[in-house]
């Protein structure tokens, strides 16, 4: 699975580099999208199954395709946009399990104590309040 996804990504990069500098980039992008659809249809048994590499390829080619070629696609542009959103969501989902960086948050009790000390002693600054908190432990 991972190897096929990496292979599809490598092919996509090579093909997009060939499309990038060409004058007829829209036409070449359309040809690449149609080529990918033919590959999917060749694998078809009962129904079309879009592999992650195919979805990634069409999501990457979607902005480069002219709007006139969209009716010729097997999927609606909204579907391709949904695939793109899902790819982005999965990419950022990896960050949710990571531990938080930076200073850990203070508990509500400590916050209330700091506010109370500041109200009761208006001449104290944050350095003095910190020192008093360190004395308390």
Q: Is residue 99 part of a domain?
A: no
Q: Are residues 18 and 47 in the same domain?
A: yes
CA distances to 22, 50, 56, 64 from 69, rounded to whole Å, are 18, 20, 18, 11
What is the percent of the chain where pLDDT is above 90? 9
Q: Are residues 88 and 53 in the same domain?
A: yes
Supply the mean pLDDT for the chain: 78
Q: Are residues 10 and 40 in the same domain?
A: yes
Q: What is the predicted pLDDT for the residue at 22?
A: 61
Domain interval for residue 136: 104-137
Q: Are residues 130 and 63 in the same domain?
A: no
Q: What is the pTM of this model?
A: 0.37
Between residues 116 and 35, which one has the greater pLDDT?
Answer: 116
Mean pLDDT confidence for 97-121: 87
Residue pointed to by tokens 């990504």: 9
**Buried-state track 16-40, b at ≥16 Cβ within 10 A, e below 16:** beebeeeeeebebbbebbbebbeeb
Q: Are residues 36 and 85 in the same domain?
A: yes
Mind listing the pLDDT tens digit for each residue in 6-54? 667 767 776 766 666 666 777 777 878 887 887 777 676 666 777 888 7
């Amino acid at each position: 699975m991972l190897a096929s996804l990496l292979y599809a990504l490598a092919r996509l990069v090579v093909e997009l580099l060939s499309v990038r500098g060409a004058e007829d980039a829209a036409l070449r992008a359309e040809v690449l999208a149609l080529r990918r659809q033919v590959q999917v249809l060749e694998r078809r048994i009962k129904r079309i199954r879009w592999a992650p590499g195919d979805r990634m390829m069409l999501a990457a080619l979607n902005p480069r395709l002219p709007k006139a070629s969209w009716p010729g696609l097997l999927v609606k542009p909204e579907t391709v946009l949904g695939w793109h959103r899902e790819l982005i969501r999965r990419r950022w989902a990896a960050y949710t399990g990571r531990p938080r960086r930076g200073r850990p948050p203070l508990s509500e009790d400590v916050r209330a104590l700091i506010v109370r000390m500041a109200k009761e002693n208006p001449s104290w600054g944050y350095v003095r309040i910190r020192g008093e908190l360190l004395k308390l432990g």
